[in-house]
Amino acid sequence: MVQKARSLSPTNQRASGANGNSRINAKNADESLHSPAILLERYRSMLLIRRFEEKAGQLYGMGAIGGFCHLYIGQEAVVTGIQAALIPGDSIITSYRDHGHMIATGMDAKGVMAELTGRRDGYSHGKGGSMHMFSREKGFFGGHGIVGAQVPLGTGLAFAHKYREDGHVCVTYFGDGASNQGQIYEAMNMASLWKVPQIFVIENNRYGMGTAVARIAAGTKLYKRGEGFGIPGRTVNGMDVTEVEQAAREAVSAARKGQGPYILEMETYRYRGHSMSDPAKYRSKEEVADMRDHHDPINHVAKLLEQAGVDEEKLKAIDNEVKAICSDAAEFALASPEPDASELWTDVLVEA
Amino acid sequence: MATQILMPALSPTMTEGKLSKWLKNQGDTVKSGDVIAEIETDKATMEVEAVDEGILRQILVPAGTEGVAVNTPIAVVGEANEDISALAAGGKAGGAKPSPSKMAAASTQEPVAAAKPVAVTSSIPQETEYAGKTEKKTVREALRDAMAEEMRRDPSVFLMGEEVAQYQGAYKVSQGLLDEFGAKRVIDAPISEMGFAGLGVGAALSGLRPIIEFMTFNFAMQALDQIINSAAKTLYMSGGQMGAPIVFRGPNGAASRVAAQHSQCYASWYAHCPGLKVVAPYSAADAKGLLKSAIRDPNPVIFLEHEILYGASFEVPTDPDYVVPIGRARVARRGRDVTITAFSYSVKTALEAAELLAAEGIEAEVIDLRSIRPLDVATIVESVKRTNRLVTVEEGWGFAGIGGEVAMQVIEHAFDYLDAPPVRVCGADVPLPYAANLEKLALPQPAGVFSAVKAVMYR
């Protein structure tokens, strides 16, 4: 693949490579991102998300989680890399494939899992479920079930950062499927017009539910979708946490400086179906196997760590540690009682 | 530690399935993510992935078995030399694995009555009698004053909408606000209702207090998803963590000769949804007092104005602390013979009808609902208990409308007091026509209210 840097200046965008892919120039990359200590942190964060999702999938299979459940497995490098570029006080908003985002922001795995099981100790006391969870403390503003609706909300969060002049940014995640929602362009227009600190992160996992991007998008270079509004954008290898983090740092830094919004199109892949009940017949087994075997974001970091001389036992210990967190979370989520019947009527309105 | 693999539920509705194929054999090593089997659910053939690592020690349910219930142990994974006899016997594992019976989340709690009253007026503050100074103001000025006073009081309040700043408002409601508060707080939005409504909700979730003006509520249909799904439901979905203190305001209902797409009344649409408050004032004093309450309210408030009323003048309290609590109706005219409920412009229609009725010796009590949700059921019921008759007036369509709700509340709470079936006076059940004569025929008129009252009085 062609390696090219993409300028932050909207007037200096270049398409690169036949597949529209571009990579951050290695010489611009912060070498410290490759240090074993940093990579170990990222490895642990990504693995925690994966093990959490595997556990969630298992609980769904046991009937302990109901309704819809959209797993993030395969896409872990995206939220992990982005979150690494943020500071407390920044805000994050996404749609319904949101468990990874919550774990990445530092929300407690127990509270997230207990919400998945619809129990009292869940983040929303069992009233939101998989697609609707929030944490004001962690700056996580949901968790939204309507495709694309979180994007104007994110512009509002970014607007509030600018209004308060607090120096924070809002990262707004959406998928390739949502990229064809009209309200996203209303939001981009306003975000750019008012130069609000909003980073649009498009998690392009190639399929909006079961429909491949090229089948429903007249232009598949989603990072260019802000061009008409003067919003710079670029693609990033969303299977490489270091590249994600590097790109996020640049976009976040520009936004913090008042340069306005930025689009990062993450080329990523979900291993599982759209939701638990999706047999994923719209793609070949070979395609999935290739991504798992040759592009897995966690294996990639594991290899780098091995090359850097980190003991395999060390990685195994991390795996055991995060597995324990997820097992504890599952146990907690199954032991937590259902919400009290009186909870049916609470939280409809704030009592003034 | 050895564990059982259970037959998974792979759709929200699956209770059993066919174990069609094993992709791993006994003795194979499996790691998390490996596809180990295929099952047919009620919808499709799905792959089963391993979660635990180890050796596939024993397959308990052979390939081809149909009707395997969810949570049946189908295999055992463990280490090479582990004793798995207890698990392989097919019994449900204890301890680490929660039992399926624990999974069955069917609630044993008592069912809760579906008909919890919409209005809980007891918790709503009583309106205090205002005895201070007043001055004559139009509804337009009263709304502007309410916004200006609240923006002076709270720096987190801002106004956003089409033409609200430089143009001073499409209907001049925001006259002078840009000059006083500047472009940071009085913001011209692009014609992007869904976008700026969503932006407002996002800002509200983070704690600001946006006032979002729709040039008319007809255009807010473009933003309905953000109003209902994002503004009204987030507090509940977040378990009370995050609400949206936001006001959506603008003219609602029929103006004059603007035809079907610019004339709809949305009161019943919004009033249907829990998580919203809906107000629709008639007088300038109420417009001001209620808008101030709406801006201070920690919940999303739909504030329905009326274009024809913007220029109408009323006495308005000058005290900047004057507010009208949301959820209290106002008796606009006392009477003993019949109760007429109305809101927004229809209050004028009802009051004019009351004059016509008075000439015939019929004393109508006119209740200005002011607040649609919460609805002041107590005031309506108390009135009907005295008059024994009810006529409702609204510009909107009757079917599933506010009149239907008012009548049902009265039936629930004062059925035995009614001397006649309630009658609804509503907009005609057609898209509003343009022609002047047809438009008049389609909207409630004093003569129609007059006739309705005569009907419920059998006169």
**Is the model's pLDDT at A28 over the cut of 60?**
no
**Which one of the listed residues B149, B162, B262, B395 is annotated catalytic?**
B262
Within the 60-119 window of chain B, which residues sit less than 8 Å (CB to CB) from chain A?
70-71, 96, 98, 100, 102-105, 107, 109-110, 112, 116
**Is the model's pLDDT at A11 over the cut of 60?**
no
Q: What is the pLDDT of residue B86?
A: 82
Residue tagged 């036992």 (tokens): A313
Q: Domain coordinates of chain B in residue numbers? A: 3-91, 135-317, 330-456
Laid out side by side, the sheet with B390-397 consists of: B330-333, B364-368, B338-342, B390-397, B423-427
* Distance (Å, whole) CA B347 – CA B331: 11
Based on the number of CB atoms within 10 Å of its own CB, is A11 exposed (0-12), middle (13-18) or buried (19 or more)? exposed
CA B157: distance to chain centroid? 22
DSSP label at residue A94: -
Distance from CA of B254 to the nearest CA of A (A): 28
- Residue B187's closest CA among B174, B172, B198? B174
For residue B455, the one-letter residue type is: A
Q: What is the pLDDT of residue B97?
A: 41
Is residue A352 within 8 angstroms of chain B, CB to CB? yes
ipTM of the complex: 0.91
Is residue B158 within 8 angstroms of chain A, CB to CB? yes
* Distance (Å, whole) CA B65 – CA A341: 40
Which two tokens mark B163? Answer: 């033409």
Whether B305 contacts B250, CB under 8 Å: yes
Within the 305-344 window of chain B, which residues sit less than 8 Å (CB to CB) from chain A?
none
Between A187, A346, A348, which is nearest B195 by CB? A187
Q: What is the pLDDT of residue B85?
A: 84
Query: What pairs with residue A172 in β-bridges?
Result: A93, A200
Mean pLDDT of A134-151: 97
CA B353, B431, B194, A136 torsion-angle sign? positive
Chain A partners within 8 Å of B44 (Cβ): 277-279, 281
**Which one of the listed residues B193, B365, B394, B395 is annotated catalytic?**
B193
Per the prediction, chain B carries an average pLDDT of 92
Name the pairing type of β-strands A207-208 and A170-175.
unpaired
Tens-place pLDDT, residues A113-140: 999 999 999 999 999 999 999 999 999 9
To the nearest 10°, report the CA torsion of B294, B295, B301, B302: 90
Q: For residue A126, is it within any domain?
A: no
Which helix (H) or strand (E) element contains residue A157?
A: helix A150-164
Within the 215-234 window of chain B, which residues sit less than 8 Å (CB to CB) from chain A?
225-226, 229-230, 234
Q: What is the pLDDT of residue A10?
A: 36
DSSP label at residue A207: E
Name which residue leads in pLDDT, B79 or A301.
A301
Q: Is 2.60.40.1120 the CATH classification of the domain at B3-91? A: no
b (16+ CB within 10 A) / e for A265-282: bbbbbbbbbbbbbbbbee
**Is the model's pLDDT at A250 over the cut of 80?**
yes
Chain B partners within 8 Å of A91 (Cβ): 206
**Is there a catalytic annotation at residue B193?**
yes
The nearest alpha carbon in chain B to A326 belongs to B51
Contact A73 B70 (CB under 8 A): no
Which two tokens mark B387? Answer: 């008059």
- Residue B294's closest CA among B222, B370, B239? B370
Which helix (H) or strand (E) element contains residue B249?
A: strand B247-251
Whether B395 contacts B427, CB under 8 Å: yes
CATH number of the domain enclosing A294: 3.40.50.970
Is residue B292 within 8 angstroms of chain A, CB to CB? no
Whether B339 contacts B365, CB under 8 Å: yes
**Is there a catalytic annotation at residue B262?**
yes
Based on the number of CB atoms within 10 Å of its own CB, is A256 exposed (0-12), middle (13-18) or buried (19 or more)? middle
Which two tokens mark A284? Answer: 């070949």
Name which residue leads in pLDDT, B291 or B11.
B291
- Residue B244's closest CA among B235, B253, B255, B257? B235
Task: Quickly list DSSP for A213-252.
Answer: HHHH-S---GGGGGGGGT--EEEEETT-HHHHHHHHHHHH
Contact B199 A156 (CB under 8 A): yes
| Domain carrying residue A224 | 33-109+142-329
* Distance (Å, whole) CA B21 – CA B6: 15
Best A46, A190, A272 residue to mutate vs chain B (most B CBs within 10 Å): A190
Our count of domains for chain A comes to 1
Within the 163-202 window of chain A, which residues sit less than 8 Å (CB to CB) from chain B?
163-164, 182-183, 186-187, 189-190, 193
Chain B partners within 8 Å of A145 (Cβ): 229
- Residue A86's closest CA among A195, A170, A172, A197? A170
Distance from CA of A32 to the nearest CA of B (A): 31
Which two tokens mark B282? Answer: 């008639």
Chain A partners within 8 Å of B43 (Cβ): 277, 279
Which helix (H) or strand (E) element contains residue A55?
A: helix A36-61
CA A39, A51, B21, B95 torsion-angle sign? positive
Name which residue leads in pLDDT, B320 or B100.
B320
**Is the model's pLDDT at B44 over the cut of 50?**
yes
Whether A240 contacts A23, CB under 8 Å: no
Q: For residue A289, is it within any domain?
A: yes
Contact B277 A349 (CB under 8 A): yes
- Residue B108's closest CA among A67, A62, A341? A341
Whether A277 contacts A285, CB under 8 Å: no
Within the 32-91 window of chain A, which residues sit less than 8 Å (CB to CB) from chain B?
51, 54-55, 57-58, 60-64, 66-68, 73, 91
Mean pLDDT of B382-408: 98
For residue B22, the one-letter residue type is: W
Name which residue leads in pLDDT, A20 or A252.
A252
Q: Which residues contact A261 (CB under 8 A, 6 or more apart)?
A: A158, A188, A191, A192, A195, A196, A197, A198, A199, A200, A226, A231, A255
Tens-place pLDDT, residues B300-345: 999 999 999 999 999 999 999 999 999 999 999 999 999 999 999 9
Mean pLDDT of B126-149: 94
Per the prediction, chain A carries an average pLDDT of 92
DSSP label at residue A139: T
Best A48, A62, A131, A334 residue to mutate vs chain B (most B CBs within 10 Å): A62
* Distance (Å, whole) CA B451 – CA B109: 50
Q: What is the pLDDT of residue B333?
A: 98
**Beta-carbon count within 10 A of B172 CB:** 16
Q: Model confidence at B116, in pLDDT bands (50, 70, 90)?
A: low
Mean pLDDT of B343-356: 98
Name the pairing type of β-strands A211-212 and A233-237.
unpaired
Q: What is the pLDDT of residue B385?
A: 98
**Is the model's pLDDT at A173 over the cut of 90?**
yes
Tens-place pLDDT, residues A40-68: 999 999 999 999 999 999 999 999 999 99
Mean pLDDT of B142-150: 98
* Distance (Å, whole) CA A266 – CA A222: 10
**Is the model's pLDDT at A167 over the cut of 90?**
yes
Within 13 A of A237's CA, how many CA atoms are on the CB side?
Answer: 20
Distance from CA of B223 to the nearest CA of A (A): 10
Tens-place pLDDT, residues A311-343: 999 999 999 999 999 999 999 999 999 999 999
Share of residues in chain B with pLDDT > 70 (%): 93
* Distance (Å, whole) CA A2 – CA A4: 6
* Distance (Å, whole) CA B341 – CA B404: 11
For B330-456, give the CATH class. alpha beta
Mean pLDDT of A152-176: 98
Contact B206 A349 (CB under 8 A): no
User: Percentages helix, strand, coil for chain A, rounded to the nearest 5?
Assistant: 45, 10, 45
Whether A282 contacts A210, CB under 8 Å: yes
**Is the model's pLDDT at A17 over the cut of 80?**
no
Name the pairing type of β-strands B313-317 and B3-6.
unpaired
Q: What is the pLDDT of residue A276?
A: 84
Q: For residue A90, is it within any domain?
A: yes
For B135-317, give the CATH class. alpha beta
